[in-house]
A and B are shown apart, each in its own frame.
Chain A
């Protein structure tokens, strides 16, 4: 098994070298004559407006949080799945309780609307003068 892991290590080094080498070769071959317009970021042909490092929707962060919880669950279930047939009913019940606890969390998120991408579908309140 150690040989196999050594092979993977060699492979990782090989992957890194391949990637670096590719960039290096293209660097040697390509022309280089930058102009200010060429270097400006793309915004549909307009002059770029401010920086793009702005605040973004908090929902992406919430999704990342949920992901961590469930990915840890997946990581825990893998070893359980491998030995499941040897352990039998006891293992099944334990994993079931574990999954149900996490499912309760999912149900809570569902109810709170954290899984919905479109939060509000009702129209904006009518302004004065409009009917």
Chain B
């Protein structure tokens, strides 16, 4: 038990995951524009260059960051000065904090000690996640109200009403997963998904909770204010929604918060419903396919495959946001609220009910 070793491990884990998420955020802003361009048959950003190297416009996010940093940041006349400045902090800080509980790899043994690839393996993992991500609403409400401008006020109200409406469905859609895996600890949920279902399918959340998965994805998009739920930023009606009055780095903090939410949301989706770092049919010592065929794989390859599996799933769901954004048009506000309260909520409750009955039947030996 060397405290120095523990501290070094903690610092390393924080640094790695910080770098992963922030790197992905930077790449996401580029993917968003490039993906949009290719879906709409354009070329997209391709001008920014360093010494003549453009690298498919990869330097645009860098140029954006520098530009945001050097732009003038002013506080509008009528604004509530304290809340106006606090709002972007309240938006970004919870977004950063949500990273803490997502497991990004299997436990590894370093110097004879088991190290979990996790910033913090809380026993209340999912509760922490919802508690912290719920705080993002404060940033939006504060931003909308403190600007003392009409469009931000409307955008902030809409956005907060929408977020809290879907937060209920999101919370309820996960209950089924908790019932099946009997834990709120994310690492335990991932471990539970390593087993096989009926001996064929990996026991992933999406296979045991298909309806829960659909509800969770929908709620995730609504929570992140993404198309088709991006009404708070419905630019044709509300200019830019709650951050209309923000400029310069404060504006970029809202953008960063949004993208961190997307990336962490994708990681959580992969963790809860797609086995996290689990690779299908891959055990600790190698592949074991149904039918008794097994292939031995060295430990380092297993480790790499598992990390790669997590990263790959996360990247796929990141891309899915972009894909959906440029495919599906925006809802009307009354449709959004109707979907949230009259469809998602009853369905989520029904899902819990059915999950309960099925689990009881399995318990009684009905299957």
Q: Which residue of A lies closest to B78 (CB)?
A: A41
Question: Residue A123 at the B interface, CB < 8 A?
Answer: no
Question: Residue A64 at the B interface, CB < 8 A?
Answer: yes
Question: Residue B179 at the A interface, CB < 8 A?
Answer: yes
For A117, what are the chain B residues with a Cβ–Cβ distance below 8 Å?
A: 333-334, 337-338
Interface code B52-92, partner A: CB below 8 Å = 1, 0 otherwise? 00000000000000001111111111110000010011001
In Å, the complex CA distance between A23 and B68 comes to: 11
For B248, what are the chain A residues with a Cβ–Cβ distance below 8 Å?
A: 26, 30
For A57, what are the chain B residues with a Cβ–Cβ distance below 8 Å?
A: 157
Question: Residue A122 at the B interface, CB < 8 A?
Answer: no
Interface code A44-77, partner B: CB below 8 Å = 1, 0 otherwise? 1000100111101100100110110011001101
B89 touches A19 (CB 8 A): yes
Minimum CB–CB distance for B347 against chain A, Å: 13
Minimum CB–CB distance for A92 against chain B, Å: 5
For A40, what are the chain B residues with a Cβ–Cβ distance below 8 Å?
A: 76-77
Q: Looking at the complex, which one of A18, A23, A39, A84 makes contact with B96 (CB distance below 8 Å)? A: A18
Question: Residue B128 at the A interface, CB < 8 A?
Answer: yes
Question: Residue B25 at the A interface, CB < 8 A?
Answer: no
Question: Given A8-B122, A117-B337, are A64 and B359 neighbors across the interface (CB < 8 Å)?
Answer: no
A85 touches B122 (CB 8 A): no
Question: Residue A101 at the B interface, CB < 8 A?
Answer: no
B70 touches A30 (CB 8 A): yes
Q: Which residue of B lies closest to A44 (CB)?
A: B239
Question: Residue A43 at the B interface, CB < 8 A?
Answer: yes
For B349, what are the chain A residues with a Cβ–Cβ distance below 8 Å?
A: 99, 103
Minimum CB–CB distance for B208 against chain A, Å: 13
B164 touches A64 (CB 8 A): yes
B167 touches A71 (CB 8 A): yes
Chain B contacts with A in 198-238, Cβ cutoff 8 A: none
Question: Residue B267 at the A interface, CB < 8 A?
Answer: no
In Å, the complex CA distance between A41 and B78 comes to: 7
Q: Which residue of B lies closest to A27 (CB)?
A: B73
For A7, what are the chain B residues with a Cβ–Cβ distance below 8 Å?
A: 10, 14, 100, 119-120
Q: Looking at the complex, which one of B76, B100, B145, B175 makes contact with A77 (CB distance below 8 Å)? A: B175
Number of interface residues of A (CB under 8 A): 71
Q: Which of A41, A85, A92 has the most CB of B within 10 A?
A: A41
Q: Which residue of B lies closest to A34 (CB)?
A: B74
B356 touches A92 (CB 8 A): yes
In Å, the complex CA distance between A42 and B152 comes to: 10
Minimum CB–CB distance for A27 against chain B, Å: 7
In Å, the complex CA distance between A43 and B147 comes to: 12
Interface code B167-211, partner A: CB below 8 Å = 1, 0 otherwise? 110011001101100111000000000000000000000000000
For B126, what are the chain A residues with a Cβ–Cβ distance below 8 Å?
A: 78
Interface code B100-141, partner A: CB below 8 Å = 1, 0 otherwise? 100000000000000000011111001110000000000000
B184 touches A88 (CB 8 A): no
Minimum CB–CB distance for B11 against chain A, Å: 9
For A4, what are the chain B residues with a Cβ–Cβ distance below 8 Å?
A: 120-123
Question: Residue B148 at the A interface, CB < 8 A?
Answer: yes
Question: Given A18-B96, A51-B148, A70-B168, are A115 and B71 neighbors across the interface (CB < 8 Å)?
Answer: no
Question: Given A5-B122, A52-B148, A67-B164, are A19 and B77 neighbors across the interface (CB < 8 Å)?
Answer: no
For B150, what are the chain A residues with a Cβ–Cβ distance below 8 Å?
A: 43, 52
CB-based closest 4 A-B pairs: A117-B334, A74-B171, A26-B249, A81-B178
Given contacts A15-B97, A19-B253, A71-B164, 19 further A-B contacts (CB under 8 A): A4-B121, A8-B119, A30-B73, A31-B70, A36-B77, A42-B149, A43-B150, A44-B239, A48-B149, A52-B150, A60-B157, A63-B161, A70-B168, A71-B167, A78-B178, A82-B179, A84-B179, A88-B360, A96-B353
A/B interface sample: 9 pairs, CB < 8 A: A7-B120, A23-B85, A23-B250, A43-B149, A44-B239, A53-B145, A54-B153, A63-B164, A82-B178
